[in-house]
Chain A
Amino acid sequence: MTTTTETADPWSSAAPPADRSMASDPWGNAPSADAQASGSSWLTASSEQAPITNTWLDPFQVEWFDLRGIVNTGVKHLVENFRGFFDVAKQPVDWMLEIFTLALTSAHPFVVIALFALVCWQVSGWRLALGGIVSLVFLGAMSVWDESMITLALVLTSVFFCLLIGIPTGILMSRSEGFARALRPILDAMQTTPAFVYLVPIVMLFGIGRVPGVIVTIIFAMPPLIRLTHLGIKQVPADLIEASRAFGASRRQILYRVQLPLAVPTIMAGVNQTLMLSLSMVVIASMIAVPGLGLMVLRGIGRLDVGLATVGGLGIVMLAILLDRMTQSLGRDARERGTRHWYESGPIGWIYRQFKTQSKN
């Protein structure tokens, strides 16, 4: 199994030349030594190669432990033994992405635009609907419709999985202080680690293409949603929780009837952040052969084609603004928009009113 995956793995065939090029690499010295002497202590390794040792005057000349080697062998071990697992793990992402892509690219552009406009009208108002139509038509007019829809599908897929994983995780954090404390550094790492760092292991584990692109995006975009879900639940006033308990609410009832409804605006802010981060990740993800607007930007940079990069960039910005406005207005409730209930506004409100007048007559 190991050998078949190794040969099927596009990365492993690229590995030997990389090793050879190490010779001319200014940093190449140590890793090749580590690769051969992996597991042996740094003392013996350094005594063979160079007489550099740690002294009291300069205690940090040589690394005390070989993190680089550990990670390299660890990832290699994962790739060799768990490739099957990662292939299965990426399946749901693959399906979801297929559905979104198929729906967005195969439908007639005007149908998509009309649907978007209706959703905008419902969640916000006719202004946003109009803005949505203009920006989407503009994308089409720049002839980047297909790329935009692919990018949109990628973003929607990653946001979908962020919601699926992020909100329950945020809830769990709010329920267990220990879990929250353990998770916080991991979230910090997910947000601050440069995307390039985990781009490589992700490619090694999942290969290249759209699905790994989505997975990278999920890793990068999920932390704010988890944090804001946690925050939203935590900031529900203590007296409301106390009142709920006094009236006999169970923990589950407190969560579903008090905490989550009150946390919605904060959670929606998290969704908004996740969307924005997903869109910004699209360009970086295009480095691992993810198509769409990001790839246009990357090509534009590669060929010094400023126009191409601008078209791609502008497309991303327009999608970003549109999605941002949509999710922001989701965070406001119906009363802030001047109606008593959500079903009294937008296209659904229009249908509702038709019904009402009919039943009156």
Chain B
Amino acid sequence: MSIKLEVKHLYKVFGDEPAKAIEMAKQGMGKDEIFTKTGMALGVKDVSLQIHTGEIFVIMGLSGSGKSTLVRLLNRLIEPSAGQVLLDGDDIAAMSDEALRNVRLKKISMVFQSFALMPHLSVLENTAFGLELAGISVSERHEKALQALQQVGLEAHQHAYPDELSGGMQQRVGLARALAIDPEVLLMDEAFSALDPLIRTGMQDELVQLQAKYQRTIVFISHDLDEAMRIGDRIAIMQGGEVVQVGTPDDILHNPANDYVRSFFQGVNVSQVFTAKDICRRKQSTIIRKTLEGGVVAAIAQLQEADRDFGYVVDKEGRFEGIVSLASLWSAEKSGKSLMAACLLDLPTVNADASLSEIISVIAQAPCAVPVVDDHQQYLGLITRAQLLQALDREEGTNP
């Protein structure tokens, strides 16, 4: 995957002598210490990131962690104190005002938490705002703006004014305005945080769908782990102006770098965040190859040796075929049937991407551990009742 946006050793100091504060930071002093000594606030401290083309990169942190400052450094709404921001290799932090304007007009656009729509312009004019600034003719920019409005499903409201729309619709206009210039990079600063939960989830789904279609590079700022997990391809977690961990949602869930990262999961609804594949485990002892030499007899021997009552039959490509029990194997042996004939009917499997809340009842009712399969029937592992309960219990759940 190619790198679209790269941040190298980026610093932002709010104060008179940034060089001094950066020096102190390099010597290992913390944000608070620097503030008490010099009165300068360290907004972003030595951040280096690589954001790939076409991914949704979520920057997550609590208020004051510097995430909003960081995203504004990416399009230089805030002037960086030191470091580089490379867009396709061009350093945004160092370019001339004219070049910077050009980047903002054509390559990077932004969606704001507060929507920031122009109250004196209609929805269509708002959407065409970026194009208007670029000096594109009325007919052309209205055409493009209308296309952008269609993407967010608001073309019917093009003549309305922002104050006539609901919050969710206003943010759709904000999104359409950012999409209208057909940007390569889309910055979204807590774009959905001001919306109520139901609409927020809807917007997240829509964003993911849009992304599936257009493959833009999106940098998404959020303080909400659920949101980050839902939409992020990769997540960077910020604390006190520093990036403490970067990784895929799974990485971060399973191997949190420190207590701060772990603390994010405290308020998280695990049953929504974890999916079946997150908690399932592969136990070699219970996997019975379909091509097993010795057939039913060998299967019985394998299960007895491992002290198990149930076995899971898998073909040589790793696809799940069925579940056998010791009892069913014995009766198959008596009547001389094959391994496949011994498979029990009516036992459930769960899909890898099903959330824990969806599988609770399945697991609770199944007589045995439930196999997890993906969309291609590939066998991924088992979930037992004990595992599920463990995962649902917060303290244990973060370290399965």
Contact = CB atoms under 8 A, between A and B. Distances in A.
Interface in B130-149: 130, 132-134
A351 interface: no
Interface residues of A, number: 20
A250 interface: yes
Contacts of A90: none
Interface stretch (B99-107, B347-355, B358-366): B99-107
Interface string B192-222: 0000000000000000000000000000000
B112 A248 contact: no
Interface in A200-259: 237, 239-240, 242-250, 253, 257-258
A250 B110 CA distance: 16
A242 B181 CA distance: 17
B134 A248 contact: yes
A243 B105 CA distance: 12
Contact of B133 (A240, A249, A261, A333): A249
Given A247-B104, A248-B104, A340-B159, A242 B116 contact: yes
Interface string B111-122: 010101011100
A262 interface: yes
A82 B104 CA distance: 53
The A interface, classified by DSSP as helix, strand, loop or mixed, is helix
B133 A335 contact: no
Given A239-B112, A253-B133, A340-B159, A246 B119 contact: no
Contacts of B187: 246
Contacts of B161: 335
B112 A247 contact: no
Interface residues of B, number: 26
Contacts of A333: 120
B132 A257 contact: yes
A247 B134 CA distance: 9
Nearest to A250: B101
Given A239-B112, A239-B114, A340-B159, A247 B133 contact: yes
A246 B120 CA distance: 18
Nearest to B104: A248
A237 B159 CA distance: 23
A261 B110 contact: no
27 contacts: A239-B112, A239-B114, A240-B116, A243-B110, A243-B116, A244-B133, A245-B77, A245-B104, A246-B104, A246-B109, A246-B112, A247-B104, A247-B105, A247-B129, A247-B177, A248-B102, A248-B103, A248-B104, A248-B105, A248-B106, A248-B130, A248-B133, A257-B132, A261-B120, A262-B118, A262-B119, A333-B120
Interface of A: 237, 239-240, 242-250, 253, 257-258, 261-262, 333, 335, 340
Given A243-B116, A246-B110, 13 more contacts: A237-B116, A239-B116, A243-B110, A243-B112, A245-B77, A246-B109, A247-B181, A248-B102, A249-B133, A257-B132, A262-B118, A262-B119, A262-B120
